[in-house]
Structure 1
Amino acid sequence: MKNKVTIVGAGMTGSTMCQILAQKNYTDIVLIDIIDGLPQGKALDISQAGTWGNFDINIKGSTDWKESANSDVIVITSGVPRKPGMTREDLLSTNASIVESVITNAVKHSPKAKFIIFSNPMDAMCHVALKSSGLAKNQIIGQGGMLDTARYRTFIALESGKSVSEVNAWVLGGHTEATMVPLISNASIGGVPIDEIMGKDSIDKTVERASKGGAEIVGLLKTGSAFTAPAFATIEMVESIILDQKRILPACALLNGEYGINDAFVGVPVTLGNNGIEEIHEFKLSDKELSQLQNAGAAVKELVKNLE
């Protein structure tokens, strides 16, 4: 049976995800939105690109949840995007209601699906998704760490003058400026520790810029937020699950004792495969990094309390 991925939300991010995934040419795609005509039009446009884009898969746009039935992976992008001056936390109550409604409908038709949560504030939305759906914790995966890691690696490459393909660096923690933990202790460029290539000031500058990476783009765009890098980051996760690649990637997972954190969704290294989150990996962190990660867990718990 052919694989099936549903993307909820046909805005800039969702439609870009659809386009990137279509070019992979290994799964059918359903694009869902509440605005009639929007997902249908986007799906048709992307389908027609297959003639010259060398892909031939079924892409369907719909407002009917029945079309999403038996999906292997469902990506939830629904929600209000950030505008200049807004924090991800400002979106809390509005997006919580949206995510709850979306996942309740989705689970009715795809109870075995793995859900990738993209809506902000992402860490808290993972809690909403788990509580609303009754799914197993391995089925709920937050996207944030993939995007934050991409930004961190990009800024390291720009600051050091090296190829981004040579950069190995991770961002753990929460998907907010205050709770991100860009790791320095195990960051490297071409296998060389980062502090042997970059000075302390450059490293500190890069860490700060990575933490504010989303806000930087929101400030430049004025009327929206990033969508291309988030889309590419998300499809890497989809691919690891659909193709059972078992890649170790940064993602938001429910922790139960790992890193000394309990009952909180926090960005950590995980193995992603057919079963969703198949393993949580505990990197060796510096004392400062571990403390920051635990503080991120506490902050997520506090944020979730505001929804109760």
Structure 2
Amino acid sequence: MPESQAINQKAVKIVIVGAGSVGVTTAYALLLSGLVTEIVLIDIDAARAEGEAVDLSHAAHFAQTHARVRAATSYADCADAAIVILTAGVNQKPGQTRLDLVRTNHALFASVVPQVAAAAPDTILLVATNPVDVLTHAALELSGFPPERVIGSGTAMDTTRFRHELGRHYGVNPRNVHAVIIGEHGDSQLPVWSLASIAGMRLRDYCAQKGVAYDEAAMDGVAARTRGAAYEIIQRKGKTNYGVASVLTSIVEQIVKSSDAIVTVSRVGEYEGVGPVALSMPCKLNHTGSHMDVPLLLSDKEREGLKRSAGEIRGVIESIREG
């Protein structure tokens, strides 16, 4: 890979704003990945951030490459960060939708994002705080960055869950399942059934070749389990952290390595005539950010579903503006 096409991996600084379970688990995953040379934790609870940084530093001995981990009390420490990951905010509670969190976390972003942007005007913002699509849109407006440099984790996690569920149903490795969830990282998310495939065959064709019936009820169950996975986890343990931390680490990897990998991440644009709004579509990730190269070839039903999803997110954005 030409050096000009990747972030200099000899000195990759990542700042994580929010030392809660997602932020710290992400820091740990990044530390062990060997992708970064410096991790900075910023949290309103400075003592907690310092404690987590010291604990992580003790784990650095076992990392693939040595990385420095430290806590900071000022957003000025975001300077020179390749990526700033935003995980700070109120967590989703049992029975609560992601959109229910919007006002509290939007107010937090209104305070944090301008300070990050001022300290690190060339960084890439990676938003993980829910509701991630609404807050990705907010981060774009608050930072003044171009859309490609404000990325939400979006449905990357949902797509992973979707492939896991399809792989389990068909008895194949999820890595051999090609299927995506698009739209909102939330209740209006959309499984793209028309393009889902295994071994290069659409699901109906795969079933026909295998000699089994294509079970629409079972596929509805797969979609429902994918959509409800976070609720189930939160009901049982109060939070999600390992899956999303792994997804965030993977997104960082694609950016740092400038891999041009296609990932379903959230970014602001116009979708089926609705916009500007942030939602997830497959995007190419590299050192300059996220880029929508080719629109998905969706069925008419799926296009309508995407339009509804965009409309719901847009409605929440407008409700915030109305106060």
TM-score interval (norm. to shorter): over 0.9
Distance between the aligned counterparts of 1:91 and 1:99, measured in 2? 12
Contact 1:259 1:282 in 2 (8 A): no
Question: Deviation of residue 115 (structure 1)?
Answer: 0.6
The residue aligned with 1:203 is 219
Question: Deviation of residue 259 (structure 1)?
Answer: 4.2
Identify unmatched segments of 5+ residues in structure 2.
1-7, 208-213
The residue aligned with 1:212 is 228
Question: Deviation of residue 250 (structure 1)?
Answer: 0.3
Distance between the aligned counterparts of 2:165 and 2:236, measured in 1? 17
The residue aligned with 1:235 is 249
1:1-308 map, 5 Å? 2-27=11-36, 28-177=38-187, 179-195=188-204, 196-197=206-207, 198-221=214-237, 224-256=238-270, 258-308=271-321
Task: State which structure, 1 or 2, has the greater radius of gyration over its C-alpha atoms.
Answer: 2
Query: What letter corresponds to residue 82 of structure 1 in structure 2?
Result: Q
Query: What letter corresponds to residue 253 of structure 2 in structure 1?
Result: E
| Secondary structure at the counterpart of residue 292 of structure 2 | strand
Question: Deviation of residue 80 (structure 1)?
Answer: 0.5
The residue aligned with 2:3 is none
- Share of identical aligned residues, percent? 27
Distance between the aligned counterparts of 1:97 and 1:237, measured in 2? 26
Contact 2:85 2:128 in 1 (8 A): yes
Query: What letter corresponds to residue 20 of structure 2 in structure 1?
Result: G
Distance between the aligned counterparts of 1:122 and 1:156, measured in 2? 25
Distance between the aligned counterparts of 2:69 and 2:15, measured in 1? 10
Question: Deviation of residue 279 (structure 1)?
Answer: 3.1
Distance between the aligned counterparts of 2:60 and 2:190, measured in 1? 40
Distance between the aligned counterparts of 1:159 and 1:101, measured in 2? 45
Question: Deviation of residue 254 (structure 1)?
Answer: 1.2
Question: Deviation of residue 285 (structure 1)?
Answer: 0.9
1:137-176 Cα shifts (integer Å, max 9, x gaps): 1111111211111111111122222211211110000111
Distance between the aligned counterparts of 2:203 and 2:113, measured in 1? 41
Query: What letter corresponds to residue 57 of structure 1 in structure 2?
Result: A
Deviates more, 1:17-26 or 1:90-99: 17-26
1:222-280 Cα shifts (integer Å, max 9, x gaps): xx221100011111111111221111110111113x54443111111111111112334
Distance between the aligned counterparts of 1:301 and 1:56, measured in 2? 43
Residue-pair matches, total: 304
Question: TM-score scaled by structure 2?
Answer: 0.90
Distance between the aligned counterparts of 1:201 and 1:214, measured in 2? 21
Question: Deviation of residue 100 (structure 1)?
Answer: 1.7
* Alignment root-mean-square deviation, CA: 1.5
Question: TM-score scaled by structure 1?
Answer: 0.94
Contact 1:268 1:280 in 2 (8 A): no
Contact 1:65 1:106 in 2 (8 A): yes
Identify unmatched segments of 5+ residues in structure 1.
none
Distance between the aligned counterparts of 1:183 and 1:51, measured in 2? 43
Question: Deviation of residue 63 (structure 1)?
Answer: 2.2
